Amino acid sequence: MYIPEWEIENAIVWNPALVEISGRLEKLSFIENQKYLKNTGRYIDILFKSDDKLVIVEVKCIYIDEPAIIFDQVLEYKKELSSELGVPKEKIVCSLVSPMGFSEEVLSLCNNLGIFTKKLDENEIICSTPKNKPKVKSNILPDHIKSDLKIDNKFMKILRKRNSNFSNLKFTNESSKNKEIINEIESIKKLKNDGIHDELAKKRIGEIFTEISKNAPIRAHEVNTNSDGRLVDNYDKWFWLFYSVMDRRSNAANFVKAKEALEKKDLFNPYKIIKLIGEKDEKTAINRIASILENSRFPLMRDSTMGDLAFPRSIVEAAKFISKYDYDFERLYAHHIDNSNGDPYTAYKTLRKDLEESIYGVGPRISSQFIRGMVLKGSWNLPLTDDKLLEMCKFNIRFASKMRLGLIENESTYYSDLGRFAEEYLGGNRAIISHVLWYVRKRYCDKKIMCDECKLAGYCGYFLKTLQDEPVKKDLSWFVS
């Protein structure tokens, strides 16, 4: 399972035993993570103390097979830290860790250079939690409920996240109100102890997923805006097709840049692209688009078939595709519904086939993305019950797993677990799941974690782990004095 480096770092800070090696690297005491090196502006992932030595821990989330990581990072950090603190190099130990392991070449080099290596256990990373939880009493619940359930401040924070009204309620001994609270608390205990949700939590998660999907955009450059992503007219829908067919090995900012560059040259509208083909030929249109994109510093993707012309060919073929339906996306939809005798399930399949056979570079993932957007944010009415709409990728696996929302047991049960969740709590709609997993990651849980703003935090394994004391940065004066 993919685990980002920052999350591995947190786990190690919380539980240094993850990187300890019996008889060789023990009794680690945390000093600082993301230690800034003033002379070079670089950062050490984690700095520990072990007896009278400093320990640099370099964290990677990938399989390590590049010696450059050793020479350009680990050993350079050791040299820079020694210089900055005036500490002999002999007093600094280095460790290189990753859950994905190392090549034989890297292991051999590290062994010869005295660098410790350790392949981290994924389950230990996932289960790692902060230590020294503060015991803070809460005055929000009635005494008889607190005594019966041993409620602490941690549970109350999760209760508030699950229902923002809890903090304002004046609880009484009324049985119905007490039962509601007790059910919530038992639900939280299930998540805390087993890493999975009970039926109450799953139902609430389904409701929140539906709400988020309704109000969230589908294009990454709109994530931090107030846009709800609605596809209102044929211009919006053409941009969504344009965006989707280019959504491979690039990012949303580049798609916007490409659109703006083509608009300046009056060649974004699919009608204008087809007009150029008519006046010249398709090859000229592809090369013209490639030239415009390249001059705007758009990063042209290379592939083995088309070289630098992969994206331009996709754009031209997307224009040819929609031109068959008079540049009208409603006519495209109606065509497939009519040809399927009104059966939306058949229309869904023929639409996918049409997209994948007509446009270069469009496969199951891109056709799924485009149709998902046209139904969730446009006017199409098609069933979204196909497992292909769940879009299995390393990010969605992580956010659906116990590391976050606890909706799947493990990677191998991704489709079955999420399919069952969709059937039971979302009317079978798989597209909502992939949309929300993507949006929550981009909006609230990317490089900057914003649990306070995330509506799913009360059901998240990571939020549960963070409701404890963070390690305190220690002073290095003891070492350099």
Is residue 274 domain-resident?
A: yes
**Residues 249 and 368 both lie in one domain:** yes
Is residue 389 domain-resident?
A: no
> Of 353, 376, 399, which residue sits at a domain end?
376
- Mean pLDDT score of the chain: 86
**Residues 246 and 369 both lie in one domain:** yes
Question: What percentage of the chain carries pLDDT values higher than 90?
Answer: 58
pLDDT in tens, 420-464: 999 999 999 999 999 999 999 999 988 788 888 999 999 998 888
> Of 105, 128, 151, which residue sits at a domain end?
128
Is residue 143 domain-resident?
A: no
> Of 356, 376, 396, which residue sits at a domain end?
376
**CATH of residue 322:** 1.10.340
Whole-structure pTM value: 0.73
**Residues 115 and 238 both lie in one domain:** no
State the average pLDDT over residues 286-312. 89
**Residues 244 and 369 both lie in one domain:** yes
Q: Which domain holds residue 104?
A: 5-128
Residue 17 confidence (pLDDT) above 50: yes
pLDDT at 217: 95
Which tokens in the block code for residue 280?
């010249």
Is residue 251 domain-resident?
A: yes
Is residue 78 domain-resident?
A: yes
Is residue 451 domain-resident?
A: no
If one counts the domains in the chain, the total is 2
**CATH of residue 75:** 3.40.1350.10
pLDDT in tens, 116-128: 999 998 888 887 7
Residue 139 confidence (pLDDT) above 70: no
Is residue 434 domain-resident?
A: no
